[in-house]
């Protein structure tokens, strides 16, 4: 007697359920392996800087079936975080509120629970940023947008103001989405606007020159040639997104209270530099800012003050020349030299 065949899932049901769980965009792609060349070439060129984890488990990153046996469907998911930019902040927009990893994981748990109620024997795997998946290529395959010259996924209505996650399923769906055509055309505003010229080529970011990398991931010395690019930026960098025409059109502003900016996300560079460790410990948890830590954030704020030549911040910079943390004191010395 033949074994019963697994049920085919309704694509519409998956999408409706994902939207009900709080995702802004959802698309479905067949779980067929991704091409290896883009990732391998990027790693071989050294563009990952010291992000060594990017070079681990490459085969698993490229093939969902190595993560979930008999994987059939990839559900690509996005959470929009755009709000009217009423406040200027040295913190990238995505990082001003709750850490998006937590927001995605909470919603992925809800989505998985509801899908498992439909098919309890189904196997799944979810990922947001740090697991065995590459969210952006799957989002492209699932029709959520195309990769712009700035390396960000762009949707024609939502622009690029969203974060991504994926869910692997070992079940077929009754319909799959098609990739969108690249709509950037000849526009290269993002490439020209980058303060450190971090694009090795269109769609190729060299982390060694990228302010976002150095202000979030780099715990070591920041190269002298990169520091002037910190102007007005202390955690992340939105420049290549801010100049994008698709982000200047009217966008649906999220009203999600989970993503609302928190007090630390609206502080000025000088206020960030002046934070006490107790204040950081009270204000930063739940946001992405602990990624760089208390000393790293103050170091970055000093780079921002020096890069923008903020004369009114001289007293703060001079005080931090004597900070017991060497990276902060060195950043203050550099900033003072810029004044």
The first and second tokens of residue 101, run together, are 């990893």
Nearest-5° Cα angle at 99, 208 to 166: 80
Q: Is 177 a catalytic residue?
A: no
Q: Which residues contact 30 (CB under 8 A, 6 or more apart)?
A: 72, 73, 74, 141, 176
Burial 78-108 (b: 16+ CB within 10 A, else e): bbbbbbeeeeebbbbbbbbbbbbeebbeebb
Q: What's the CA gap between 272 and 268, in Å, rounded?
A: 6
Catalytic residue among 129, 177, 188, 206: 129
Exposed, middle or buried, 338 (CB in 10 Å: 0-12/13-18/19+)?
middle
Active site residues: 129
């Amino acid at each position: 007697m033949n074994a019963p065949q697994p049920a085919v899932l309704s694509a519409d049901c998956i999408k409706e359920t994902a939207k009900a769980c709080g995702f802004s965009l959802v698309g479905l792609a067949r779980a067929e392996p991704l091409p290896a060349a883009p990732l391998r070439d990027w790693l071989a060129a050294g563009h990952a800087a010291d992000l060594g984890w990017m070079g681990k488990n490459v085969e698993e990153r490229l093939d969902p079936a190595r993560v979930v046996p008999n994987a059939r469907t990839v559900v690509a998911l996005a959470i929009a975080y755009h709000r009217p930019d009423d406040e200027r902040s040295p913190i990238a927009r995505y990082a001003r509120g709750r850490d998006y990893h937590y927001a995605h994981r909470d919603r992925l748990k809800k989505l998985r629970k509801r899908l498992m109620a439909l098919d309890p024997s189904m196997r799944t795997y979810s990922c947001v940023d740090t697991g065995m998946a590459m969210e952006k290529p799957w989002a492209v395959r699932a029709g959520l947008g195309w990769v712009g010259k700035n390396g960000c996924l762009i949707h024609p209505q939502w622009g690029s103001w969203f974060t991504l996650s994926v869910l692997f399923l070992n079940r077929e769906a009754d319909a799959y989405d098609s990739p969108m055509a690249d709509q950037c055309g000849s526009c290269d505003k993002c490439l020209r606007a980058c303060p450190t010229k971090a694009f090795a080529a269109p769609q190729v970011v060299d982390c060694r020159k990228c302010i976002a990398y150095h202000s979030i991931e780099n715990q070591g010395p920041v190269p002298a040639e990169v520091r002037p690019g910190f102007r007005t930026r202390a955690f992340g960098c939105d420049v290549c997104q801010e100049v994008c025409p698709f982000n200047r059109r009217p966008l649906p502003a999220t009203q999600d209270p989970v993503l609302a900016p928190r007090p630390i996300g609206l502080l000025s560079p000088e206020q960030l530099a002046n934070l006490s460790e107790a204040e950081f410990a009270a204000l930063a948890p739940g946001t992405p800012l602990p990624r760089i830590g208390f000393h790293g954030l103050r170091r970055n704020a000093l780079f921002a003050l020096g890069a923008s030549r903020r004369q009114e911040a001289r007293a703060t910079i001079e005080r931090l020349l004597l900070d017991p943390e060497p990276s902060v004191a060195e950043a203050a010395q550099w900033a003072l030299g810029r004044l």
